[in-house]
Structure 1
Amino acid sequence: MNKEWNDTILKAFRGEETDYTPVWFMRQAGRSQPEYRKLKEKYSLFEITHQPELCAYVTRLPVEQYGVDAAILYKDIMSPLPAIGVDVEIKRGIGPVIHNPIKTKADIAKLGTIDPEADVPYVLDTIRLLTREQLNVPLIGFSGAPFTLASYMIEGGPSKNYNKTKALMYSDPESWFKLMDKLANMVITYVRSQVAAGARAIQIFDSWVGALNEADYQTYIKPVMDIIFSELKSEQVPLILFGVGARHLVQQWNDLPIDVLGLDWRLSVTEARAMGITKPLQGNLDPSILLADWNVIEERTKQIIDEGKQHPAHIFNLGHGVTPDITPETLKRLTHLIHDYSKS
Structure 2
Amino acid sequence: MTNSTKPFPPLKHDLILRAARGEKTERAPVWVMRQAGRYLPEFRAERVENDFFKICRTPELATKVTLQPIDRYDGLLDAAIIFSDILVIPQALGMTVEMVPGKGPHFPNPLVVPADIAVQLKEKVDVYQELPYVFDAITMTRHALEGRVPLLGFVGAPWTLMAYMIEGGGSKTLSKAKEWIFKYPKESHELLTRITDVCVDFAVGQVRAGAQMLQVFESWGGELGPHDFELFSLPYLAQIAKRVKAELGSEAVPMTVFAKGSWYALEQLSTLEYDTVSVDWTHSPESAKAATKGRVTLQGNMDPNVLYGGDEAIVAAATRMVRGFGSTGRYIANLGHGILPTVPVEAMHLFLSTVHRVGLEVAAEEQARESA
Calculate the TM-score normalised by the size of structure 1: 0.96
Moved over 6 A (4+): 1-4
Residue aligned with 2:198, SS: helix
RMSD: 1.7
Cα shift readout 1:204-260 (whole Å, capped 9, x = no counterpart): 000001111111111222222221111012331111111322212212212221111
Counterpart-to-counterpart distance in 1, 2:200 and 2:37: 26
Matched, 1:200 2:207: no
Alpha-carbon offset, residue 9 of structure 1: 0.4
Q: Deviations over 1:10-68 (max 9, x none)?
A: 00011111111100000000111111111111111101112111110100111121130
1:107 to 113, 116, 138: 116
Which position in structure 1 is the counterpart of 2:84?
Answer: 75
Counterpart pick for 2:59 among 46, 52, 57: 52
Whether the aligned pair in 2 keeps the contact of 1:108 and 1:178 (CA below 8 Å) is: no
Q: Which residue pairs with 1:35 in the alignment? A: 42
Please give the alpha-carbon distance, in whole angstroms, between the structure 1 residues aligned to 2:156 and 2:86: 5
Whole-angstrom distance in 2 between the partners of 1:310 and 1:338: 9
Are the equivalent residues in 2 in contact too, given 1:218–1:252 (CA < 8 A)? no
Corresponding residue to 1:253 among 269, 272, 290: 269
Deviations 1:78-102 (A, max 9, x none): 1232221111111112111112211
Matching residue's letter, 2:174: Y
Match of 2:197 in 1: 185
Q: Say which SS state the counterpart of residue 197 (structure 2) adopts.
A: helix
Cα 1:3–1:85, aligned 2, differ >3 Å: closer, same or farther? closer
Look up the SS of the partner of 2:238 in the other structure: helix
Return the offset for 1:139. 0.6
Q: Which amino acid aligns with 1:313?
A: R
Residue 212 (structure 1) aligned with residue 212 (structure 2): no
CA distance in 1: counterparts of 2:92 and 2:290, whole angstroms: 43
Size of the aligned set, in residue pairs, is 344
**CA 1:277/1:172 → structure 2, altered by over 3 Å: closer, same or farther?**
farther
Residues 108 and 175 of structure 1 are in contact (CA less than 8 Å); yes or no, is this contact kept in structure 2?
no
CA contact (8 A) 2:27 2:327 kept: no
> Partner amino acid for 1:90?
M
| Distance (whole Å) between structure 2 residues aligned to residue 2 and residue 86 of structure 1 | 37
Secondary structure of residue in 2 paired with 1:307: helix
Cα separation, 2, equivalents of 1:225 and 1:80: 16
Q: Conserved in 1, the CA contact under 8 Å of 2:90 and 2:165? A: no
SS of the residue corresponding to residue 216 of structure 2 reads strand
> What is the rounded CA distance, in whole Å, between the counterparts of 2:113 and 2:150 in structure 1?
42
| SS of corresponding position for 2:64 | helix
Deviation of 1:310 (Å): 7.2
Partner residue, 2:288: 272
What residue ranges of structure 2 are gaps of 5+ in the alignment?
Answer: 1-7, 362-372
Output the CA distance in 1 between the equivalents of 2:171 and 2:128: 32
Which shows bigger deviation, 265-274 or 197-206?
Answer: 265-274
> Could you tell me which amino acid in structure 2 is paired with residue 24 of structure 1?
W
Which secondary structure does the structure 1 equivalent of 2:152 belong to? strand
From 81, 100, 121, the equivalent of 1:91 is 100
Separation in structure 2 between the aligned mates of residue 277 and residue 3 of structure 1, nearest angstrom? 34
Give the match for residue 141 of structure 2.
Answer: 130
Could you say what secondary structure the match of 1:316 adopts?
Answer: strand
Seen in structure 2, the aligned counterparts of structure 1 residues 311 and 252 have a Cα distance that, compared at 3 Å, is farther
**Counterpart-to-counterpart distance in 2, 1:86 and 1:29:** 25
| Secondary structure of 1:335's aligned partner | helix
In percent, how many aligned pairs have the same letter? 35
Structure 1 letter corresponding to 2:210 = G
- Cα separation, 1, equivalents of 2:125 and 2:335: 31
CA gap of 1:156–1:276, structure 2 versus 1, over 3 A, is same
For the residue of structure 2 that corresponds to 1:275, the secondary structure is: helix
AA matched with 1:330: A
Structure 1: runs of 5+ lacking an equivalent: none
Q: Deviations over 1:254-280 (max 9, x none)?
A: 222111100111112211112344311
CA distance in 2, matches of 1:55, 1:47: 9
Aligned to 1:334: 351
The equivalent of 2:33 in structure 1 is 26
The verdict on how the C-alpha distance between 1:277 and 1:171 changes in structure 2, with shifts beyond 3 A counting, is farther
Letter in 2 for 1:51: T
Deviations 1:155-197 (A, max 9, x none): 1111111111111111111101110110000100111110000
Given candidates 137, 153, 171, the residue that maps to 2:165 is 153
Q: TM-score, normalised by structure 2?
A: 0.89
